[in-house]
Amino acid sequence: LSQITDTTFSEEDRSFMKRALELARNGRFTTSPNPRVGCVIARPSSNEKFKSQIIGEGYHLRKGEPHAERVALANCTEAPIGATMYVTLEPCCHHGATPPCTDAIIDADVDRVVVAIRDPFHEVKGKGIETLRENDIQVDVGLLEDECWFENRFFFHYHTNKKPWVILKAAISLDGKMASKTGHSKWITGDTARAHAHEIRAETDAILTGVGTIIADDPLLTSRMPGIEELKIKQSTRIVLDPQLEIKRDAQVIRTYNQAPIWIFCHDSAPDYAIQELTFFNASVTSVGGERQALDLHSVLESLAASGIQSILVEGGPKIHTAFLESGLANELLLYIAPKIVGGSEAPSFFLGEGVELIDQAMQLDRVERTLLDQDTLIRGILRR
């Protein structure tokens, strides 16, 4: 991220960009594979009390629909000549599903564009900013860059590293257990925490679990967030890691193939008849290498990235979570902690692994947020590399 001095931007700039970021968040369930972008257009006010006032604002809703900049320009209550545009991502300069935003900005005759962060997408990557500058528009880059990166971390990670952003999500007890010693786990957390998890499901492109969880809990893995159908929010693709294709043919994820896609990853050694059977039941089956009982997660993520999956919510049991943590492929953690003590050395903990010898070797979270969800606490953060 670029170094910005405190004097580059005014307090007013900061408050308009904050508003643009708030607008960008409105697209969090619908924009993928496009980024979430918000835009505010402001100009000097005739009222002396305020230096500038907003004359137009907008956000991007979904691929194929107008970008935030064009929505904000169309919403302007007066001509934007000489105004400043605040946008959370570098404006595009190429013909994609919609025409270049730089054309619309140049035609609108704004004086200045404040951009939070450069677009890593290969067709843009600084060219949008260059185009505006070549047309004598002042462009200042880097305001709330970190916040705007965070809002679009799936998109940035995908375009920069060619891998999906991986969030590990688990409900645990105070003593870190994901289930009791008998494998019982319904329900560790309460209604509010579970409703929150349904929102996260609706935000991510895919939900992934292991065959262990499918056998133990027979989950649906769809989002039941209120309004999901009315808002035309796409259900995430459901992914099961099942090396030897042990999943029951009448598992809920198979029976509900028409509610959301179901993709199963198996090992190269899985029997052909099982692949054919599951394909017949409308699952898409992909075989990858690795150990017979533990698929190579790098190959799984590569294959998912090639299918355009930018974000994955992992809702596995302890084995899958441990595999993601040990392979260094997890980016973010979402732990819903219930004020309960389960006990039992046989009851599985969230992280099994070898464990570290010294506390300073422990995996560490950054950007930690804590949220109270009735009696439960959500702790989320980004895993430090």
Ligand X SMILES: NC(=O)c1ccc[n+]([C@@H]2O[C@H](COP(=O)([O-])OP(=O)(O)OC[C@H]3O[C@@H](n4cnc5c(N)ncnc54)[C@H](OP(=O)(O)O)[C@@H]3O)[C@@H](O)[C@H]2O)c1
Determine the angle formed by the axes of helices 318-327 and 297-306, rounding to 10 degrees. 80
Q: Which stretch binds ligand X (CB under 6 A): 22-30, 78-86, 102-110, 287-295?
A: 287-295
Q: Which stretch binds ligand X (CB under 6 A): 83-91, 122-130, 225-233, 288-296?
A: 288-296
* Residue 377 CB-density burial (10 A; 0-12 exposed, 13-18 middle, 19+ buried): middle
Regarding 295 and contact with ligand X (CB under 6 A), the answer is yes
Task: Give the shortest CB-372-to-ligand X separation in angstroms.
Answer: 19
Regarding 380 and contact with ligand X (CB under 6 A), the answer is no
Q: Which stretch binds ligand X (CB under 6 A): 7-15, 107-115, 276-284, 291-299?
A: 291-299
Closer residue to ligand X, CB minimum distance, 5 or 345: 345
- Has 69 been annotated as catalytic? yes
Alpha-carbon span 93 to 127, nearest angstrom: 7
Options 246, 268, 369, 374; binder of ligand X; rule CB under 6 A: 246
Closer residue to ligand X, CB minimum distance, 228 or 288: 288
Options 293, 345, 360, 384; binder of ligand X; rule CB under 6 A: 293
Q: Which stretch binds ligand X (CB under 6 A): 27-35, 139-147, 256-264, 314-322?
A: 314-322
- For residue 245, CA distances in Å to 67, 112, 240, 253, 327 come to 43, 57, 10, 14, 23
3-state SS assignment for residue 201: helix
Task: Give the shortest CB-350-to-ligand X separation in angstroms.
Answer: 8
Regarding 337 and contact with ligand X (CB under 6 A), the answer is no
H-helix segments, the chain:
11-25, 68-74, 101-108, 127-134, 145-151, 153-161, 191-203, 211-217, 252-255, 272-280, 297-306, 318-327
Regarding 120 and contact with ligand X (CB under 6 A), the answer is no
* CB-based contact 191:330 (threshold 8 Å): no
Alpha-carbon span 34 to 341, nearest angstrom: 42
Closer residue to ligand X, CB minimum distance, 60 or 321: 321
Contacts with ligand X by CB under 6 A: the residue count is: 29
DSSP codes, 92-105: P-S-SSS--HHHHH
* CB-based contact 333:172 (threshold 8 Å): no
3-state SS assignment for residue 81: coil
Closer residue to ligand X, CB minimum distance, 122 or 186: 186
**Which residues in 145-184 contact ligand X (CB under 6 A)?**
170-171, 178-179, 183
Cis amide prior to 33 (ω within 30 degrees): yes
Rounded to the nearest angstrom, the gap between the alpha carbon of residue 261 and the centroid of all alpha carbons in its chain is: 18
Task: Give the shortest CB-336-to-ligand X separation in angstroms.
Answer: 7
Using alpha carbons, select from 135, 299, 308 the residue that is nearest to residue 236: 308
Options 141, 216, 305, 379; binder of ligand X; rule CB under 6 A: 216
Alpha-carbon span 240 to 262, nearest angstrom: 8
Alpha-carbon span 6 to 28, nearest angstrom: 29
Residue 264's CB is within 10 A of a number of other CB atoms, namely 25
Catalytic-role residue among 12, 65, 69, 123: 69
Options 244, 256, 299, 377; binder of ligand X; rule CB under 6 A: 244
Regarding 331 and contact with ligand X (CB under 6 A), the answer is no
Options 241, 309, 334, 342; binder of ligand X; rule CB under 6 A: 241
Options 35, 43, 243, 383; binder of ligand X; rule CB under 6 A: 243
Q: Which stretch binds ligand X (CB under 6 A): 36-44, 66-74, 150-158, 293-301?
A: 293-301
CA triple 182-185-198, angle to 5 deg: 160
Regarding 210 and contact with ligand X (CB under 6 A), the answer is yes
Per DSSP, what are the bridge partners of residue 263? 239, 284
Closer residue to ligand X, CB minimum distance, 113 or 295: 295
Dihedral sign (CA 335, 341, 347, 352): positive
Q: Which stretch binds ligand X (CB under 6 A): 16-24, 74-82, 128-136, 237-245?
A: 237-245
Task: Give the shortest CB-165-to-ligand X separation in angstroms.
Answer: 18
Catalytic residue positions, numbered: 69
Residues in contact with ligand X by the rule CB under 6 A: 170-171, 178-179, 183, 185, 188, 209-213, 216-217, 241, 243-244, 246, 293-295, 297, 315-320, 323
